[in-house]
Amino acid sequence: MDINTIGKNAKAASRLTAAMETKQKNEILTVCGEALINNADAIIEANKADYEKAKANGMSKHMLDRLMLNKDRIEAMADGLFQIAKLPDPVGEYVSMNTLPNGLIVGQKRVPMGVIGIIYEARPNVTSDAFGLCLKAGSAVILKGGSDAINSNKAVVDILRQAIENMGINPDIVTLIEDTSRETTTALMRLNEYVDLLIPRGGAGLISAVVKNSTVPVIETGTGNCHIYVDDTAKIQMALDILINAKTQRIGVCNAAESLLVSEKIAPEFLPLAAKALKEKGVEIRGCVKTAEICKGFEIIPATDKDYATEFLDLIISVKVVKDVNEAIDHIAKYSTGHSEAIVTESYENAQKFLAQVDSAAVYVNASTRFTDGNEFGFGAEIGISTQKLHARGPMGLQALTTTKFVIYGNGQVRP
């Protein structure tokens, strides 16, 4: 099926999803979740083909882990749909309602986007997550996964579409573009006639390409060069716990810490302990000259500007000794991708300065950056983490997948 036909069909289907009652959307999500569980063997068989090919092509271990599906992970995908069904429906919610002096009642309410396109890489669980969130938010979705997971994505979407069709509903509420070529990806980016919003999920290269080439409105997500700054008043053990959790609890995710900044006043005491703890976890340290001087007993690779700007997604961290909180803020402003940053401090003044001046989607005081996540923030599943400022910022839940419109009630008013 060509891209224009896919867009046209999705646009028609979006009028159906926009009109669906919450109960019907929840029924679809539940039936689709059960279908994934009942057809797990078929999904696993398709996934094996993707996994073996990716392994033969030299895909990294952490990316292979993200690609691999088993029964537990498929049950988690299904549970994700069940959980979305339990979330409050944002569609139809009134954001505001005011009565003007002329008697007009002006309300603003949440409405569906229409058709949402998702471009993503080797994470087949995104396929079901994106479908579920878009449906609950009242939109149809066009999915464009990478070639690494094409068999897995196709199996999942085929099962979803069949379950939807068996309910007597137009299956075009979810469509997978099976052509994984760059030309088709570019065509999707320019499908303004049918697609209302485009969300890329993946590495920096993918996100940059979509932002630069798309004529469809884009929400930029994901790239996370996240920092931990250890202030001179920090509690040593707290700082160590936060650092190790943020860097090593899970390395291949966008909210993992990639850079450590340490106040020069606390560095002689803190850095040797940090280096020891990081090395015990297998982390390679790329540090400044002062870091190397303080940590003489450890292998410290000289850090470059490129290291400070890199989202490693690996057991690697860049380290720099800074004068104070002001220099830390300046460093973050230069190298951060605007995702998540944390300060470890006992100083109220420095904490407030950090919160006010660090311009990222999530800014922490005395906590790990690993909490930047829709579930962890308490509003359920997310489609991604926005690092831009327009429309949505930070973890994007159901509300971020809607837009608003004004509704006005009158009793014959005309403008004088």
Q: What is the pLDDT of residues 181-200, one digit of tens each?
A: 989 999 999 999 999 999 99
Taking the CB of residue 316, how many other CB atoms lie within 10 A of it? 17
Q: Does 119 have pLDDT greater than 80?
A: yes
Q: Does 375 have pLDDT greater than 90?
A: no
Amino acid making up residue 277: A
pLDDT at 274: 98
CA distance from start to end of the chain: 53
User: Which residues fall within 8 angstroms of residue 315, CB to CB, at 6 or more apart?
Assistant: 248, 251, 281, 282, 283, 284
Residues in the chain: 416
Contact 115, 11 (CB under 8 A): yes
- Please state the rounded mean pLDDT for residues 171-187: 95
Name residue, tokens 């040593």.
Answer: 236
Q: Does 205 have pLDDT greater than 90?
A: no
To the nearest 10 degrees (0 to 180), the angle between helices 40-56 and 22-38 is 70
Burial class for 215, CB neighbours closer than 10 Å (0-12, 13-18, 19+): exposed
pLDDT at 358: 98
pLDDT at 21: 97
CA distance 79 to 10: 25
Burial class for 233, CB neighbours closer than 10 Å (0-12, 13-18, 19+): middle
The candidate with the shortest Cα–Cα distance to 47, out of 157, 153, 176, 128, is: 153
Q: Does 62 have pLDDT greater than 80?
A: no
**Beta-ladder partners of 112:** 402
pTM above 0.95, yes or no: no
pLDDT at 37: 98
**Beta-ladder partners of 174:** 141
pLDDT confidence of 389, banded at 50, 70, 90?
confident
Collapsing DSSP to helix, strand or coil, 120 comes out as strand
Q: Does 63 have pLDDT greater than 90?
A: no
Cα angle vertex 325, ends 320, 327, to 5°? 55
Q: Does 233 have pLDDT greater than 80?
A: yes
CA distance 25 to 23: 6
Contact 386, 400 (CB under 8 A): yes
Q: CA quadruple 112, 116, 121, 125: dihedral positive or negative?
A: positive
